Amino acid sequence: MPTNLLIVDDNEEHLDLMFEILKEENRYALFRAVSGEEALEVVADKDIQIVILDVVMPGMDGYEVCRQIRKQYRLKPIQIVMISGFNHKNDLDELLELGADDFISKPITALELQARLKAALIRLRDQTKVMGVLRERTQPEGKNFSTLVAENIQLRQEYQKVRRINEELQANCHQLEQLASLDTLSGLLNRRTLFKRIEIEIERTTRLDWPLTGIMIDIDHFKRVNDNFGHQCGDIVIQEIGAKLTKSLRKYDYAGRYGGEEFFVVFSNTMAGTAQSIAERFRLEMQETRFNCGDEQFNVTVSIGVSQYIPGESPGRWISRADGAMYQAKQRGRNQVVIS
């Protein structure tokens, strides 16, 4: 038997479009309504099983229609698919709280409409089976089936609320963890998190027997930047370095702020020669970057030391070798890359 499907939209063009998409599918008996009031009349008269319901309508809007259907037909597994131009999570949460089963975003496409309705058919079939089983189990024992279903609906609503609260808590915890692990100025890992990551990468490279290389970056004459242009301009330089490093790194590389104007980058599964080439590109990019701070314009350069991890050495020793190579770069005139 075809499934009775009601499409509710005050826009006749939208109604015609959806009818055209669905009329050739033999699985639906199609009905239409152009207002919320008319929709409730059709639901009552035609034993509607699926409702496609526009949210924004004059008079009785989609929110109220959804609320009325859920209130009047609590014992029927009517599927309500909302049509909405909203994409904010709070708007979608409100639709679900009212009893909507799914939603379709505007503009409507044939593929999405057909897919959402197929999903609605599956839910309709499954919920019909569940209600049939509940009737069989409760009626012989004299239990009130209506009360049982009402309690089940309430439990489902409470579960959805708890699930959303848990999702928000998890998101907030993740955000707090991110904030606790990052340097607020550069956006890179802070020193504590950087050292934890270094220990993890050393353990991994030892276990997998692949190369690990680090580079130490230091801003040349950074004190002059602060003295000549002010600490705010110095902060802009640090922020820009953090942004450039974040943009250029692979997803399995890590960069952190090691000190005031020093940065350490960990390149996983990377030989020193490859890291040197990456460092050289970064050095040239910084050399060509023009900073604007108020009415002032200036350039900065960086000196970089590269060191490949030697199996068995301590994290401190590895970092120290990169630091030593960086100081060699400064002694040789700055604005260059040196391998340990």
pLDDT of 77 over the 80 cut:
yes
| The residue type at 110 | A
Measure the CA–CA gap between 339 and 304, rounded to whole angstroms: 9
Measure the CA–CA gap between 155 and 148, rounded to whole angstroms: 10
- Tell me the two tokens of residue 19: 């009818």
Helix (H) or strand (E) holding 54: strand 50-54
Measure the CA–CA gap between 244 and 186, rounded to whole angstroms: 10
In this predicted model, what pLDDT tens digit does every residue of 138-191 receive, in sequence order? 554 545 555 655 666 666 666 666 666 666 666 665 555 555 688 989 999 999
Q: Who has greater pLDDT, 45 or 140?
A: 45
Provide the pLDDT confidence category of residue 129 given band limits of 50, 70 and 90: confident
Distance from the Cα of residue 253 to its chain's centroid: 21
Three-class secondary structure of residue 84 per DSSP: strand
Q: In this predicted structure, what is the pLDDT of residue 135?
A: 65
Q: In this predicted structure, what is the pLDDT of residue 86?
A: 61
Q: Closest Cα to residue 272, out of 314, 321, 330?
A: 321
Q: Who has greater pLDDT, 138 or 192?
A: 192
Measure the CA–CA gap between 219 and 261, rounded to whole angstroms: 6
Percent of the chain with pLDDT over 70: 83
Provide the pLDDT confidence category of residue 333 given band limits of 50, 70 and 90: very high
In this predicted model, what pLDDT tens digit does every residue of 266-283 receive, in sequence order? 999 999 999 999 999 999
Q: Closest Cα to residue 280, out of 300, 304, 263, 307?
A: 304
Q: Closest Cα to residue 145, out of 72, 71, 75?
A: 75
Provide the pLDDT confidence category of residue 323 given band limits of 50, 70 and 90: very high
Q: Who has greater pLDDT, 139 or 263?
A: 263
DSSP per position, 243-274: HHHHHHS-TT-EEEE-SSSEEEEEEET--HHH
Q: Judging by beta carbons within 10 Å of its beta carbon (0-12, 13-18, 19+), is residue 6 exposed, middle or buried? A: buried
Measure the CA–CA gap between 128 and 147, rounded to whole angstroms: 17
Spell out the domains of the chain, with CATH numbers in brackets: 3-143 (3.40.50.2300), 191-339 (3.30.70.270)
Phi first, then psi: give them for residue 85, nearest 5 degrees.
-90, 0
Contact between 218 and 261 (Cβ < 8 Å): yes
In this predicted model, what pLDDT tens digit does every residue of 279-313 receive, in sequence order? 999 999 999 999 998 888 999 999 999 999 999 99
Q: In this predicted structure, what is the pLDDT of residue 128?
A: 81
Q: In this predicted structure, what is the pLDDT of residue 315?
A: 94
Q: In this predicted structure, what is the pLDDT of residue 145?
A: 54
Contacting residues for 260 by C-beta, under 8 A, at least 6 apart: 222
- Tell me the two tokens of residue 184: 């607020």
Mean pLDDT score of the chain, rounded to an integer?
Answer: 86
Contact between 90 and 119 (Cβ < 8 Å): no
Contact between 117 and 22 (Cβ < 8 Å): yes
Q: Closest Cα to residue 302, out of 243, 237, 238, 217?
A: 217
Provide the pLDDT confidence category of residue 97 given band limits of 50, 70 and 90: confident
Contact between 275 and 178 (Cβ < 8 Å): no
Contact between 268 and 205 (Cβ < 8 Å): yes
Looking at the annotation, which residues are catalytic?
261
